[in-house]
């Protein structure tokens, strides 16, 4: 695998002394910071961040009320909250576990159904309209039915997460597996590949870009679904916790809770994509 990275032009920049053996962690960290600082995009991001935070701080100080969240206020409460607020982490865990379960179940089902739909014409004709219908159904509309079935409970949260995550990933897998190049199918055919080889070995990897796009949508919708359920059924979780903090005028704390949701969202979308790019070097070179 070592030769895989050889193709990256930025690996061995001219003048780079290269990895010195046994360099200390401090030296490594210093070099990493130096590298980041030399990177234009990092500087741009840092600059934008400072501008936005300053504007926010100044805006609230000039025009806002004193309970409103400000960057400095958040900075003041965040360390203690993140280290000692057991409730914050309990709620985070409850929400995220259900999001993970829902995304996992919904995602696995979506992958199966989507790939099958794209590869089997009959199945597509039979089930396609329902998948499209599910995708178009507003998730909120179904929530009362779920609460009737499952009560004001965590099951309702999982159910709505599944319901929200399933359609976009199913449609992604469906589109992707329908768009699998005829070339690949012909090659598989010429070696006498059976259906299961084609579905798993070709349709899935060949539609990976579609799956990633579908997963991005699905994970965003999954988080939204979890928070919505908490708001409307008062099931414990990060969403309701943020709401409680907000209604009790602890807005700096509320922003910390909301930020955790955002970070998880980013990890699920960008993080998954980056991980795939790192571990599947062919992704993007198809």
Euclidean distance between CA atoms 166 and 109, whole angstroms: 7
60 vs 206, which CB is nearer to another protein?
206
Which span sits near another protein by CB under 8 A: 30-38, 113-121, 189-197, 240-248? 189-197
80 vs 189, which CB is nearer to another protein?
189
| Inter-residue contact 75 to 131 (CB < 8 Å) | no
- Going by C-alpha positions, the residue among 74, 82, 79 that lies closest to residue 254 is 74
Residue 4 CA, chain-centre distance (Å), reads 27
Type and span of the H or E element at 259: helix 251-266
141 vs 286, which CB is nearer to another protein?
286
Residue 189 binds another protein, judged by CB under 8 A: yes
| Residue window 224-263: x/- pattern of binding to another protein, with contact defined by CB under 8 A | ----------------------------------------
Residue 280 binds another protein, judged by CB under 8 A: yes
Which span sits near another protein by CB under 8 A: 49-57, 83-91, 162-170, 275-283? 275-283
- Length of the chain equals 286
Residue 86 binds another protein, judged by CB under 8 A: no
DSSP at 6: G
Among 120, 184, 231, 236, binds another protein (CB under 8 A): 184
Which span sits near another protein by CB under 8 A: 226-234, 246-254, 260-268, 276-284? 276-284
Euclidean distance between CA atoms 285 and 275, whole angstroms: 15
The nearest distance, CB 203 to another protein, in angstroms, is: 11
CA distances from 148 to 143, 144, 153, 159 (A): 9, 6, 10, 12
| Inter-residue contact 166 to 187 (CB < 8 Å) | no
Q: Which residues are near another protein by CB under 8 A?
A: 1, 3-4, 7, 183-184, 186-194, 197, 201-202, 205-206, 208, 280-283, 285-286
């Amino acid at each position: 695998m070592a030769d895989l990275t050889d193709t990256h032009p930025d690996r061995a920049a001219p003048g780079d002394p290269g990895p010195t053996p046994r360099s200390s962690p401090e030296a490594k960290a210093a070099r990493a910071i130096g590298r980041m600082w030399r990177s234009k995009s990092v500087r741009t991001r840092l600059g934008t961040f400072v501008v936005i935070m300053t504007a926010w701080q100044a805006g609230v100080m000039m025009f806002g009320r004193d309970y409103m969240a400000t960057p400095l206020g958040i900075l003041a409460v965040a360390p203690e909250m993140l280290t000692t607020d057991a409730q914050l982490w309990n709620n985070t865990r409850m929400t995220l576990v259900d999001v993970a379960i829902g995304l996992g179940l919904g995602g696995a089902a979506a992958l199966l159904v989507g790939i099958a739909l794209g590869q089997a014409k009959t199945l597509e004709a039979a089930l396609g309209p329902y998948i499209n219908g599910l995708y178009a159904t507003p998730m909120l509309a179904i929530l009362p039915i779920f609460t009737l079935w499952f009560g004001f409970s965590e099951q309702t949260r999982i159910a709505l997460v599944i319901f929200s995550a399933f359609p976009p990933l199913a449609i992604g897998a469906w589109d992707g597996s329908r768009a699998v190049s005829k070339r690949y199918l012909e090659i598989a055919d010429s070696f006498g590949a059976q259906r299961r080889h084609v579905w798993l070995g070709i349709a899935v990897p060949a539609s990976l870009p579609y799956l990633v796009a579908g997963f991005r949508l699905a994970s965003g919708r999954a988080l939204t679904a979890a928070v919505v359920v908490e708001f409307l059924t008062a099931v414990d979780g990060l969403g309701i916790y943020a709401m409680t903090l907000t209604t009790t005028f602890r807005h700096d704390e509320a922003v910390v809770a909301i930020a955790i949701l955002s970070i998880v969202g980013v990890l699920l979308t960008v993080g998954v994509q980056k991980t795939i790019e790192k571990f599947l070097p062919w992704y993007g070179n198809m």
